[in-house]
Chain A
Amino acid sequence: MASASRYFEKQIRLRGLEIAFWLATLLPFVVTPAYLQLASQVAITALFALSLDLILGYAGIVSLGHAAYFGVGAYTAGLLAKHGWGEPLSGLLISAILAGLTGYASSHIIVRFRHLALIMLTLGLGLLLHEAANSASWLTGGADGLQGIKMRAVFETFRFDLYGRTAYAYSLVVLFACFLVSRRIIHSPFGLALRGIRENAVRMPAIGAPSRAHLRKAYTIAAVLAGAAGALLAQTTETVSLDVLSFGRSADVLVILILGGAGRLYGGLLGAIVYMVARDQFAGMNPQYWYFWIGLLLVAVVMFLPNGILGGLARFFPRKS
């Protein structure tokens, strides 16, 4: 027992490289102050990818409709602010909880299925929500998007400015907090059980880990994080468009996670940085042609780099035991 708890303690401790990574996230404030809006977008996308990593990388649930929870979070935060509740932190909390409730409700369906039926169901639920938001234009503004969002300042002191200084700081702090929570979850007995379920969902109950209950929990947590990411996007940009629920967003986050490396916590963060910065650099390009390169990249990653960028790096730098 003592060795088991020592194992977990060792896993939980932050490594030097990790501390360096998080310190480096502060660099945009001094090095590229003109790109803070972009940095904020990267942080939000990273949080979204992190939430997908929890269910895809660790629990093994393939989802083509993860934007559903992102969208619920974004619309909740947007609607709250539009109707007078402009306080960001409580808005963020309410949005995340509501997305979590949606996730908990749908998790009862999701955990029953595997393979094609699972992919189809996640896709179907995502499309269902997209269509619902499109139809309910009295609430969501439909295809025109939600307008007239007015945010109050964070802690009543830090206003959301034009340069995105507050936006980035706010997004980064939320990302860091969510990351610490996810990291703690992954390196707990529960996280270990999730990985066991990913490898063999039938055998895990035999050693005392209820597969479906664990998967439901993981799915709900991921939905909470996705909702928080959506709420961040709504609050920092002060608009919500139908695009937050689109299939494209679900596919994008999947690409980002796979590009970085699934099941590695930092995979989503790294993928988000590479993807968003590249897209910003190629912004002059027609989006249709942008997708050509994304497609090519996907094919290449699946064929040659099965564990993403981080997996490829790990092959060159094997960890000392």
Chain B
Amino acid sequence: MSASLAGVLFDGFAYGMLLFLLSVGLSVTLGMMNFVNLAHCSFAMVGGYVTVTLTNSLGWPFLASLPIAFLAAALVSTVLERALYRRLYRATDLDQCLLTIGIVFISVAAAAWFFGTVQQPINTPPWLRGTVQLLGMSFGAYRLFLIVTALAITAVLIFCLEYTRFGAQVRAAVDNQRMARGLGIDVDRAFAVTFALGGGLAGLGGALAVEIVGLDHAFAFNFLVYVLIVVAVGGLGSIGGSFVAAALLGVSDMAGKYYIPWLGSFLIYLVMVALLMWRPAGLFGKR
């Protein structure tokens, strides 16, 4: 029993790290501009499809396709930000919601058009397929790889945010956008860079997600709720909050589906509603 408990915890944590990669960009950009971007998972889907196409059709190695997935998603998010989002920063929540839901609809239909509605297969290298023996227990190699990657990215993100000049500008803009502008910080530029970075990270998350949760045309919809839960619970603009919220969500979702399968996703939604009612600004949110 204890072994299976550890297994569930491990799988849940790996799943949580995946959710963290998918949502961290949204958390920071939402905290900065208060822009309700429901299309964040569409960027993740771009990353997923880029990786699938590169590895399956063009025979690229899996690891080499990951940076391309990151770049492609970052590029798409930059283009969208420049062309559409930029005009709606001062619009109401409703308009922002509608625009981004529209983009989700378009991306889902486009994915169905180009790739069909079937689950996409993925070829991971052999060394990521088996299990690894550690302390008398076996862990999935791919999940271990996922956790290590996510932890490394978190470390880099926190370092950049805490110890670089650009990070200080981003933090200032999240805390108080008007004040930051008053101090001469180019908030729009900082936001554009953050947005591209967040989109890229979502793309990377999407590429890494294919092995674990699969990839089909409805990905942008199916993960929207999870990503929003992470952001809303973790608090806007907080990397640490997103990390804790994603880990909690991953573990509790996995545990719920493992031990009480008849409840389905009910438990997750219940936890989310209860948490939001208790702390509307999220566990670590300031506002």
Taking beta carbons and an 8 Å cutoff, which residues of A are in contact with B?
A: 56, 62, 64, 109, 112-113, 115-117, 119-121, 123-125, 127-128, 131-132, 134-135, 247, 251, 254-255, 258, 286, 288-292, 294-299, 301-303, 306
Chain A min CB distance to B220 (Å): 11
Q: How far is the CA of A294 from the CA of B228 in the complex (A)?
A: 23
Q: Which residue of A lies closest to B279 (CB)?
A: A117
Known: A62-B93, A302-B98. A296 touches B113 (CB 8 A): no
Known: A117-B276, A289-B112, A296-B106. A131 touches B264 (CB 8 A): yes
Known: A64-B97, A292-B106. A120 touches B232 (CB 8 A): yes
Q: How far is the CA of A306 from the CA of B88 in the complex (A)?
A: 11
**A295 contacts B102, C-beta separation under 8 Å:** yes
Contact residues in A for B33 (Cβ distance below 8 Å): none
Tell me the count of chain B residues lying within 8 A, CB to CB, of chain A.
46
**A291 contacts B262, C-beta separation under 8 Å:** no
Main DSSP-derived SS at the A contact region: helix
Partner of A295, one of B91, B104, B117, B269: B104
Chain B min CB distance to A60 (Å): 9
**B102 contacts A116, C-beta separation under 8 Å:** no
**A134 contacts B101, C-beta separation under 8 Å:** no
**B93 contacts A299, C-beta separation under 8 Å:** no
A-B residue pairs in contact (CB < 8 Å), sample of 23: A62-B97, A112-B280, A116-B36, A117-B232, A119-B93, A120-B228, A120-B272, A123-B225, A127-B265, A128-B270, A131-B264, A135-B266, A247-B221, A251-B101, A288-B108, A288-B112, A292-B113, A295-B103, A295-B105, A295-B106, A299-B103, A302-B99, A303-B87
Contact residues in B for A62 (Cβ distance below 8 Å): 93-94, 97
Q: Which residue of B lies closest to A124 (CB)?
A: B273
Inter-chain pairs besides A135-B262, A289-B113, A299-B102, 7 sampled, C-beta below 8 Å: A62-B93, A109-B277, A116-B30, A117-B281, A127-B265, A290-B109, A294-B102
**A288 contacts B117, C-beta separation under 8 Å:** yes
Contact residues in A for B112 (Cβ distance below 8 Å): 286, 288-289
Contact residues in B for A258 (Cβ distance below 8 Å): 94, 98
**B109 contacts A292, C-beta separation under 8 Å:** yes
Contact residues in B for A131 (Cβ distance below 8 Å): 263-266, 269
Q: Does B213 count as interface, using CB distance less than 8 angstroms?
A: no
Chain B min CB distance to A70 (Å): 18
Q: How far is the CA of A303 from the CA of B87 in the complex (A)?
A: 8
Partner of A121, one of B94, B109, B273, B281: B273
Interface string of B13-52 (1 = CB under 8 A from A): 0000000000000000010001010000000000000000
Q: Which residue of B lies closest to A298 (CB)?
A: B102
Main DSSP-derived SS at the B contact region: helix
Q: How far is the CA of A124 from the CA of B217 in the complex (A)?
A: 23
Q: How far is the CA of A299 from the CA of B84 in the complex (A)?
A: 9
Q: How far is the CA of A115 from the CA of B105 in the complex (A)?
A: 22
Q: Does B110 count as interface, using CB distance less than 8 angstroms?
A: yes
Known: A120-B276, A295-B104, A302-B99. A135 touches B264 (CB 8 A): yes
Most chain-B Cβ atoms within 10 A of its Cβ — which of A135, A298, A301, A303? A298
Q: Does B186 count as interface, using CB distance less than 8 angstroms?
A: no
Chain A min CB distance to B98 (Å): 5
Task: Name the 3 nearest CB pairs between A and B, nearest first.
Answer: A295-B105, A298-B102, A292-B109
**A128 contacts B117, C-beta separation under 8 Å:** no
Partner of B97, one of A117, A119, A296, A297: A119
**A132 contacts B276, C-beta separation under 8 Å:** no
Q: Does B95 count as interface, using CB distance less than 8 angstroms?
A: yes
Chain A min CB distance to B260 (Å): 10
Chain B min CB distance to A219 (Å): 16
**B93 contacts A115, C-beta separation under 8 Å:** yes
